[in-house]
Amino acid sequence: MLLKTATFKGGVHPEYNKELTASKSIRKANLPELVIIPLQQHTGAPCKPLVKTGDEVKAGQKIGEAGGFVSVPVHSSISGKVIGIEMRPHPNGQQTLAIIIESDGSDVIDSSVQSKNDINNLTSQQIIDIIKEAGIAGLGGAAFPTHVKLSPPPDKKIEIVIINGAECEPYLTCDHRVMIEKTDEVIYGARAIMKALNASKCVIGIESNKPDAIAAMLKAVSDYPNMDVIALKTKYPQGAEKQLIKAITGKEVPSGGLPADVGVVVDNVSTAAAIASAIKTGMPLIERVITVTGKGIKEPSNLMVRIGTPFHDIINQCGGFVGKPGKVIMGGPMMGIAQYTLDVPVIKGTSGILILTEQEAQQPEPEVCIRCARCVDVCPMNLLPLYISRYSLANMFDKAEEYNAMDCIECGCCSFECPAKRPLVESIRLAKRAIVAKRRKA
């Protein structure tokens, strides 16, 4: 193992608050009485429903077909009856078409859920097909369809697979616990990814503040000479894809480019574990580990939760709120999305539910920019956030594009560091949406 002192330019050191759940083992959440399965839980085209109201379904049964190549199917996470297909609140803040299933309490598994053989007996394409049919999208938060990552253009030779165990987002510990408790599954999934890409090397990157996870993964890779573990400097956003590649390989993904352009594919540790489950048992992605945490929840926990479980069910299982919550966030405080209702469901990209107290959630009024350049210093993408934000707020999106707004990874470092508390990342996100809309129209 090599302790990497070199990392990436910029970044910040927020209070991590991981001690709330870092030592808490994963426990199974109660079987939900009702699930809400959105037909879009991933980057790309939404699914098309395969069931109708009144149909009986089983756990693991495909209920939504992928709407294109950049898309993945969805599956029922419980057995029961479809009681509706309608627009429902989505954790991204919008409304989306969802399949609502009422549990029959029996949790019967669909007959299609069967072992897919061993990776040694599967071809690269068979592994990719299994991953696609299992509905696996990146579980680190971005939810990009995994089979697309594993299907680079023929001219892009992938040499290194990076398994992302950094988990740099404050509060969250679900990946940490997966590395400790599901070590063998992570390694098996990583080997499947390597075979799918015909990659010669795999590196598992873990921040140095997780010594128990590093030790567990080091022991697990000892039998595989082409796999290694690297302990990374603890700094946010160390787990961001481009920053992770820079820290581990020294290579820089070009502006507008993809990791495949430098011969790398990055997948999250929980994604690797889900791939192992899909191959070994045939069970598609119907559950995931999430961290329920914060000073506003009575019993911070790491839970294995069925996809589609409403947030209010999960919060009740963790003892409920401590007083009146100030904010409920899907994900962590840096890149998470604040929720306006607890009726939203856990989706594939839900890494955590963070509950802040009223005092923690208070935000100071933004002041005039003082040109201190702290946002420039901490930007891991070497951008000029103050200018991109300024042009965005003035609806000058062409100028924001000239300042490379599209390269922003929305990590929130600029807003975190800004002494004037300017809405930097929010305004840059607005500019990016306007630029994408203009490009589509063109």
What are 170-221's pLDDT values in tens digits?
Answer: 999 999 999 999 999 999 999 999 999 999 999 999 999 999 999 999 999 9
How high is the pLDDT of residue 8?
84
Cβ–Cβ under 8 Å, residues 282 and 341: no
Provide φ and ψ at 329, rounded to 5°: -120, 135
Asked if the bond preceding 49 is cis, omega within 30° of 0, the reply is no
Q: How far is CA 280 from CA 41, 63, 111, 115, 122, in A?
A: 24, 22, 15, 5, 12
How high is the pLDDT of residue 132?
97
The crossing angle, in degrees rounded to 10, of helices 269-280 and 174-181 is 50
Give dist(CA 272, CA 274) in Å, integer. 5
SS3 state of residue 435: helix
How high is the pLDDT of residue 141?
77
Question: Token pair of 114, please?
Answer: 């069967």
How high is the pLDDT of residue 355?
98
Contacts of 281 (CB under 8 A, 6+ apart): 113, 115
What value does the mean pLDDT of the chain take? Answer: 96
How high is the pLDDT of residue 142?
81
Q: Which residues of the chain fall short of a pLDDT of 50? A: 3-4
According to CATH, where is 3.10.20.600 located in the chain?
Answer: 26-113+284-360
Which pTM value belongs to this model? 0.95
Give dist(CA 275, CA 259) in Å, integer. 20
How high is the pLDDT of residue 6?
56
Using CB atoms within 10 Å of the CB of residue 31, give its burial: 0 to 12 exposed, 13 to 18 middle, 19+ buried: middle
Task: Break the chain down into helix, strand, coil percent, rounded to 5.
Answer: 30, 20, 45
The crossing angle, in degrees rounded to 10, of helices 183-197 and 269-280 is 80
Using CB atoms within 10 Å of the CB of residue 101, give its burial: 0 to 12 exposed, 13 to 18 middle, 19+ buried: buried
Question: Token pair of 269, please?
Answer: 């540790």
pLDDT in tens, 47-97: 999 999 999 999 999 999 999 999 999 999 999 999 999 999 999 999 999
Give dist(CA 251, CA 3) in Å, integer. 18
- Name the CATH topology of 26-113+284-360: Ubiquitin-like (UB roll) (3.10.20)
- The architecture of the domain spanning 114-280 is 3-Layer(aba) Sandwich (3.40)
